[in-house]
Amino acid sequence: MKAPKVMEHLKPAHIACEKSDIAPIVIMPGDPLRAKYIAEKYLTDYKLVSDARNMFAYTGMYHDKRITVMGSGMGMPSMSIYAFELFYFFGVERIIRIGTCGGLKEYLNVPDLILANSSYTEGNFAYSYNGDPTHVAYPSKKLNEVILEQAKAKGLTIHEGCVMCTEQFGFYSDNEHVLKRVPEDIDIIAEEMESFALFHIASSFDKEASVILTVVDSKFSDQFMSIKDREQSLDNMILLALESI
């Protein structure tokens, strides 16, 4: 599987900085304000390196590691733009998405952690991107193993499973008919909107990507994490990602 060809004269259209401003390792929340929160709370010697379209990217040090924290926006189209530019133009080697999701199993509660071991989509993202007809994409097995080891060391419970990458926000759509069409051999445990694009693009460049998610709502409960909490109270997930770099 190969990445699409890009015209040689093209420059990144959505990230406004020099190649050297971006670290080889990127922690990627969806919300750019969460990127700001992470930089201010956990990084040293950090600086804002890109703010085009208010999609903030900060590069600094986490202990002895130089990393970039950058928002991806919501949905596969937005994730695909930033993931592609980071891998293609900036030479990024590894992206860990830290995001939120809706739980689709009764055993999942707010704010449980999930590590995606695959991502399923009904859409045709892969075919549009590089002619691949697949509907399932996978993370870096090696990086996932590191994350699991770190979770164990921290005494954190983390659920592994396949997540469904949707093209609409679950609460604003009738997604039950979509779930009923999922192939019987695919066991979906949660839904979100970015993982498939990240995994597929990373694989096309032979790069590493993983997705850690926090359950913020569930189809089996009325509990719903607030906007403020989603922006600033996901520290277990954030620290797990930082320690896994």
DSSP state of 70: E
The SS3 call for residue 84 is: helix
DSSP state of 185: T
> Where in the sequence numbering do the catalytic residues fall?
217
Distance CA 37, CA 134 (A): 36
The SS3 call for residue 137 is: strand
Distance CA 156, CA 240 (A): 9
Distance CA 121, CA 114 (A): 18
Tokens of 145: 């193993």
Helical packing angle, 32-42 and 235-243, nearest 10°: 70
Please answer whether residues 84 and 201 qualify as being in contact, where contact means their C-beta atoms are separated by less than 8 angstroms. yes
